Amino acid sequence: MPILRALLAAPLVLALLGLGTVPLPSEPHLTPAAAHLPRLVADGGAPTAALLARRTSSAPYDTYRSTGTGIRRADHFRAGSITKTFVATVVLQLVRERKLRLSDTVQRLLPGLVRGNGNDGRRITLRALLSHTSGLYDYTADLSAHPLSATAAVHVALAHRPTDAPGHYAYSNTNYAVLGLVVRRVTGHGYATEIRDRIITPLRLTGTSLPGARTTLPSPHGRGYTRDPADGHLRDVTALDPRTAGAAGELISTLDDLNRFYAALLGGRLLAPAQLKVLLNTRATHGVYGLGVYPQKLSCGVTVWGHNGHIAGGYVRTAATRDGGHTLTFRVDTDTLADSEALEATLLEAEFCDRPQNSRSS
């Protein structure tokens, strides 16, 4: 799994014990991952956690579970870097329409934007931006900077030398800040408009939005917490300025919408076969990352695709089978989750490798 830097965690950051798993009365099916959900609270230190699992074939089910209080299936939450999959989808649609080519350089599309201090837009292609092989410094790693626009974020990155030569994988939110500018340059509209028109509206993702400068979450929503490094206490960071995240992580969504989006994407409803193949191509990163999505191979041989989102006040992860027929999204209401990789792996292994405890559809 790639190491993904938290968006807004530094400027706005960095446990309460849950009350047990709360099933919906209408859902007799216990999805395999549900039994492990309480560990996100008991072992991970999250105040609350929730998951939504959906399978459309071979004993289908659609099951929601939560642990703790104050978290609901319909809640809106910040999805962080899952935004990148939406942006990558738009870019690949523009490639299909021949408005862009993956071999286009940043210099060609945005003349003069990326240059200086060892950075050279003539050597960075769209494919490199999408796959995090550009070498551009991650602007969110500069804890002294709080850029409120994509151009400002790029300028923060350019104050640093590249983290690596182009062609080597190094996750950087700057790549998607640049891609947001590319979308505007080519379409005449901001990436938020293109995502709305090309993805949100056609898929009827009624709980998904890109807030721009809006600091509040739509209703209904819970709270988001970060742990103060000075005293260890949880601090409410529900309201925040998402412009620092921008095209790298400003998305707001719901459990249902994220499952629906990844099922549609991997099921071929948003991209033509050629572009979907490119989306899932991980050769440039030696199997670590595709173009806005990444694979995770499980012990049973199943590989799931998706992305995670880590932003101040929350963490979310969506994973799906290659055909999109089986999806899982889980979330916690804090950006600080102890032993997060092991706990996440446990949920994914349970959901995609174990047999369900009940084969009935909910």
C-alpha distances out from residue 13 to 94, 147, 310, 337, 340, Å: 36, 16, 12, 13, 17
Inter-residue contact 313 to 240 (CB < 8 Å): yes
Identity of residue 78: R
Q: How far apart are CA 52 and CA 58, in angstroms?
A: 18
Q: Please, what's the b/e burial string for 179-210 (b: 16 or more CB within 10 A of its CB; e: otherwise)?
A: bbbbbbebbeebbbebbbebbbeebebebbbb
Residue 326: phi and psi, rounded to 5, are: -140, 115
Cis peptide leading into 38, omega within 30 of 0?
no
SS3 142: coil
- Beta-sheet pairing, 21-23 with 314-320: unpaired
* Bridge partners of residue 221, in order along the sequence: 76
Token output for 197: 């028109």
Inter-residue contact 220 to 74 (CB < 8 Å): yes
- Residue reference for tokens 């706005």: 12
Sequence-ordered list of residues with C-beta below 8 angstroms from that of 134, at least 6 positions apart, any chain: 124, 128, 162, 166, 172, 174, 175, 178
Residue 234: phi and psi, rounded to 5, are: -75, 135
Q: How far apart are CA 271 and CA 265, in angstroms?
A: 7
Active site residue 81: yes
Q: Is the dihedral of CA 289, 292, 296, 301 positive or negative?
A: negative
Q: What are the residue ranges of helices labelled H in the chain?
A: 9-12, 39-42, 83-96, 106-109, 126-131, 150-158, 174-187, 191-195, 201-203, 255-266, 273-279, 340-353
Spot the catalytic one: 81, 134, 209, 362: 81
| Active-site residue set | 81
